[in-house]
Amino acid sequence: MKTMNDAAQRQLPATIPQTGQPIAGNPRRRRDLEQDSYAATALSDVIDRSLHATWARFTFGLSPAALGNAYLDWATHLAASPGKQAQLAAKAVRKSVRLAHHASQCVLQGGMIEPCIEPLPQDRRFIDETWRRWPYNFYYQSFLLHQQWWHNATTSVRGVTGQHEKVVEFVSRQILDMASPSNFLLTNPEVLQQTMRQGGMNLLRGMQNFLEDWERVVNGKKPVGAEQFEVGNNLAVTPGKVVYRNRLIELIQYAPATDRTHPEPILIVPAWIMKFYILDLSQHNSLVRYLTTQGFTVFMISWKNPDPEDRDLGMDDYRKLGIMAALEAITTITRGARVHAVGYCLGGTLLSIAAAAMARDGDERIGSMTLLAAQTDFTEAGELTLFINESQLAFLDDMMWEQGFLDSKQMAGAFQLLRSQDLIWSRGLHDYLMGERQPMIDMMAWNADATRMPYRMHSEYLRRLFLENSLAEGRYEVDGKPIALTDIRVPLFCVGATHDHVAPWRSVFKIHLLTDTEITFLLTGGGHNAGIVSEPGRPRRSYQVLTSPHDHAYLDPDAWIAAAKRNEGSWWPEWVAWLAARSGEAAAPPPIGSPEAGYPALGDAPGLYVFQE
């Protein structure tokens, strides 16, 4: 309020209009003008923000101005590039001739001939043999040639800013994917074959599936089958107690599964964008349960699902009320033992901030750090950065300003766009055209358990980390002083996943450039969640791992890939061996909580916060 009032005051005229009489000599008049100016400024601000928030409901939180600027930049530079235009025209002619030649061969030979263009390796829409028959081979070959031409048209236009080019290429790809022949009944031979075989019953089931899903979305219900999985019943069932609670977290201490445990406890800091039990799913794939069976005392932060009244909680509140409060409780309960700190996704970013601040201030309570799919440098943070610029952040700010938080549905839209082929179109094909429901699994049920993020925290996170990259560049401040990741001296274990679209592994790998300590980097298969939840015994799993001493010469990601040893199976045993090598001899486990020190058992795991809708 003070800032807006000061701004309004600076805009006041020096004299009263019409009379020309100085305002200084009319304190009452000056006061009236100040109030009028302030009211007008506040009103205009409210009008603009409310309008933007209304637009956001129809644009899934994407800024029309940001998108318009990107396309204007591209179109303007393309219009001023006759050489590029001529090149695109020549490509269009060559592709048309190639497609016509392919079509004539198909008609004349009447059989399945070699395609004139192959899909990208990750594109599995056209792998079925039925796509090799006429006219379906013509449909998909035409689509792929159009897709390739538009990629050429939207990239390598001289003068277009890098982010604008990526936005135009990404959005154009999404629009083209909507028109893929695999998405329509009459142009998809697999669906037609299924329809003929089942007498159209697949379409009837698909319509029922669509209506059922629509009804659940409209009424805010969870997806079909999610009711089979219940937190505290068959999810998040590792025994333990809540030993601390504040307005933002519950701290869970899990019961030991062995007679003796290592003296150093493990603190897991999950992201607040997700419910913590992604790391304590079912009995067979619970990372928490696995750690306790390996002789570790495990603590877990369970974040509160914020409400509108939590709108002003910021990043520093999450650090203080989250990590620092948890460390205070853990070191009290375990009588001063150093902690193996683990951060997942955003939790790992926050842990890095906290650890750097602690190192700067001489706080040595952390003995080692593990970062699971967590970024500390955001210059190559994948396609999520397409949505991060000043225009987009202002639009998001206005949307969150009105409601006080970022809703899970608004977050889900952006994440689904990043993998639209897998999460949108392939699901529509499978569920609505084929009429076959994909069985619900524990991870899908967890993914449907929505969370929110406070207005101030999310705005600070996007602006300070994504947009300004302050943490990597030494400008991020904690308690009024900048922190540097180079101050962290404890050994690091960092995990990246090859198919992670949220925290690309090459972005995670940049921790090598930001710290001056021993780093063990491990690259596993899978995505952001499935790569981390990779229990022993899971088929088709492998990983590469390499330790770089603090004085070791830097290896770039490609050189690291060539040098790192490949192993078959889950990466969990590798990590446990790393933790054990940096832990003391096993002894009697610590008590659950410490009532005499103010940390009594407040209830059974998984606590209360995890049930908040």
Any idea which residues carry the catalytic annotation?
345
* 529, 278 Cβ separation under 8 angstroms: yes
Question: CB 194: neighbour CB atoms within 10 A?
Answer: 18
- For the four alpha carbons of 393, 452, 441 and 290, in that order, the dihedral sign comes to positive
DSSP for 21-62, written as a single string: -BGGG-HHHHHHHHHHHHHHHHHHHHHHHHHHHHHHHHHTT-
* Distance from the Cα of residue 179 to its chain's centroid: 27
State the Cα–Cα distance between residues 252 and 424, nearest whole angstrom. Answer: 36
Token pair, residue 328, equals 């205070």
The Cα–Cα gap between 48 and 223 comes to 36
Q: What span, in angstroms and rounded, lies between the C-alpha atoms of 334 and 266? A: 11
* Ordered DSSP codes for 287-320: HHHHHHHTT--EEEEEE----GGGTT--HHHHII
Cis ω before 135 (30° cut-off from 0): yes
Token reading at 239: 């025994």
Cα–Cα distance for residue pair 450/539, rounded to 1 Å: 29
Could you tell me if residue 373 is left (phi over 0), alpha (psi between -120 and 50 degrees) or otherwise beta?
left
The residue among 142, 188, 148 whose CA lies nearest residue 172 is: 148
Q: Where are any strands of DSSP class E within 123-192? A: none
3-state SS record for 562-606: HHCEEEECCCHHHHHHHHHHCCCCCECCCCCCEHHHCECCCEECC
- Helix, strand, or coil here: 194? helix
CA dist 244 and 545 (Å) reads 36
Cα-Cα-Cα-Cα dihedral of 438, 440, 441, 446, to 10°?
120
Picking from 288, 252, 295, 292, the residue whose alpha carbon sits closest to that of residue 587 is 295
What's the rounded Cα separation, in Å, for the pair 471 and 351? 12
Q: How far apart are CA 547 and CA 341, in angstroms?
A: 19
How far is CA 292 from each of CA 183, 238, 605, rounded to the nearest angstrom? 46, 9, 15
Amino acid symbol at 537: G
Asked if 254 contacts 288 with a C-beta cutoff of 8 angstroms, the reply is: yes
